[in-house]
Structure 1
Amino acid sequence: MKASRLGIAVALLACLVAGKGSAAAAPPAMVEAGRVVPDGFVLDADGSTLVHVASKTRFPAEVAGFARSKEAAFDLTGEYVAIGYDRPLPGNTANIIVRVALVHIRDMSARDHYDIMRSAAMAHFSSPTVVSEGPYVIASDPGLSAYQGIFAGIRGGEPWHFSLTTINYGYWAGRITAAYPQKYAAEAKRDLADFVAALRQKPVPPQ
C-alpha cells in the first residue's frame, strides 16, 4: 500500500507543479451548496472553506492574499488530497504557485518523503541546481519533523526558484511545494511565510 500510494503521489506532483492538477481529474465529486466538492472534503457553513474530513484540516478560499485555485482528492478514502493556492506578483506577470498535499504514508520520515519527491520536483526546470536543503523548523510547531529543499532553474526561458517541504505529522505526511520567478524571490519568501503562518494547522488522525 505504501509503495503504490507513493507512486501515485509522485505522478500527481508532476501534474500539480505543471498546473494541470484540478478537481476535474479527481474521482466523482459530490455537490454541496451549489459547489462541486471533491471526495474527502465537505464545504464549511461559511460557504467557501473546504474541510478535509479525515484530518479536519481547513482550507479557506483566501489565505494571506493567496486564493485557492485547485482542489482534488486522488484517493476515494480521502487519504491523498491536494489543494492549490496562487498569489499574483507585481504587474500580474506571474503568480507565486503553492500546492499543499496531505497523504497517509505509513512509517516514512520527512527526510525519506523528501528524497522520494526530490527528483520529481526538480524535473520541471531546465538545468536545475540546489540552492539549499536540510532539516526545516516549522515556527508554529518546532517539534515537528520537516525537511526542505530550495532549487533554482529555468522555466519558460526565465530563472525560477522552487521549494519542496515535507512534514511528518505522524499518521499524515504533509507536502508543500512553491514556485516563483527568481527576481521576486525576496517578496515570495515573505508572502510564503505569511501563508504558512496563516494556514498553520496540525492534521489529526481519522477517528
Structure 2
Amino acid sequence: MKNLFSFFIKRTQTINAVALLVAVSLLGDHLVSRIHQKHAVKAICDNSTHFLIGGISWLIVCINTSFLQNHTQCLFEILLCAFIASVIDVDHFISARSLSLKEATNLKERPFLHSTTVPIVTCACFYLCGNLWKSAILKRLTPVIFIAFSSHHIRDATRRGLWFSPFGSTAPIPYKLYISLNCAIPLVISFLLNKFGHHIRVQYTVFVV
C-alpha cells in the first residue's frame, strides 16, 4: 500500500510539473511575441523563459529519479540547469564583441553556443571522461548540460531550426513538436538514469554529503 501511494504521489507531481512546463512555455512565448519595440524587456522575458524551462525540466528529472533523495542536491541541479539554459545567450554578446543589446540581437550568423553540435560534443566528452576517471560528478553533469542546452535549442528551433555546425540547419520545428520534445526529454533522461545510473547514486550521494 505504501509503494502504491508513493507511486501515485510521484505520478501526480510529474503531471503537475509537466503541466507547469507547458504553461511556462506557452506564456513565455506569448509574452515575447507581444513585445515588439522594447528590446531589453523582450530579451529579459525571452531569457527568463529559457531559465524557467531549464529549471522545471530538471525538476521533472528529480521527481522521477528514484535515487535523488537529497533535496539540497536536487535544488542545486535545478538551479544549475536553469542557469546554463539561460546563460547560453551570452554568446550573442561575445560574437557581437559588444555589450549593446541591439548589436547582440542583430547578428548576421547564429553565435557558437547555439550550434547543437556543441552540447553533443560536450556531453560526449563529459561522459567519456567520467568513465575514464570514474567520476560520478562528470557523469551526473552530463544530463544536466544536455537538458539545459536541448531545452534552449529546441525552443529557438521553432524559428530557425536546429543548427548542426558545420553541417547546416534543419527546417524550423513545428511549435507542437517543440512543446512535446521539451516535455518528453526529461522523462526519457529520468528513465535512463533510473536504469543505468545506480553507479552514480552511490558516489554522487557520498560526495554531496
* TM-score after normalising by structure 2: 0.25
Higher helix share: 2
Larger radius of gyration: 2
Q: Which structure has the higher relative contact order (CA within 8 Å, separation 6+)?
A: 2
* TM-score after normalising by structure 1: 0.25
Higher strand share: 1
